[in-house]
Amino acid sequence: MSAPTTPLTEPLHEALRRELSRLAQHEEDVAASEAARVHYWETMPVTVAIHRQCAAALRAAAEELPTPRHSQPGRA
C-alpha cells in the first residue's frame, strides 16, 4: 500500500529551499566580512571567492528544486 507523497514533498522542498537560501546568505555574509578586513590595494583572500562560489552553488541547488504546485482553475 503506497500513500501519496506529493502533499509531503512540497513542504519538504520548500523547507529545503529556505535552508539552502539561508546557507547561501551566510556564505555571502562571511565573504563580505572577510573582504571588509582587506584594504582596497591589497589582494583579496581566495576564501572570499570561495565563499561566493559556495553561495552561488547553494542558490543554484535551491532553484533546481521543484516549485510548489498551485491548484489551477478548472482542474481537479
More confident position, 1 or 18:
18
pLDDT at 55 over 60: yes
pLDDT per residue as tens digits for the range 4-42:
556 778 899 999 999 999 999 999 999 999 999 999 999
Cα–Cα distance measured from residue 34 to residue 47, given in angstroms and rounded to the nearest whole number? 8
For position 25, what pLDDT does the model report? 98
Exposure of 26 by Cβ count < 10 A (0-12 exposed, 13-18 middle, 19+ buried)?
middle
Q: What is the pTM of this model?
A: 0.77
How many CA atoms does the CB half-sphere of 44 hold within 13 Å?
Answer: 14
Q: Which residue matches cell numbers 565573504?
A: 31
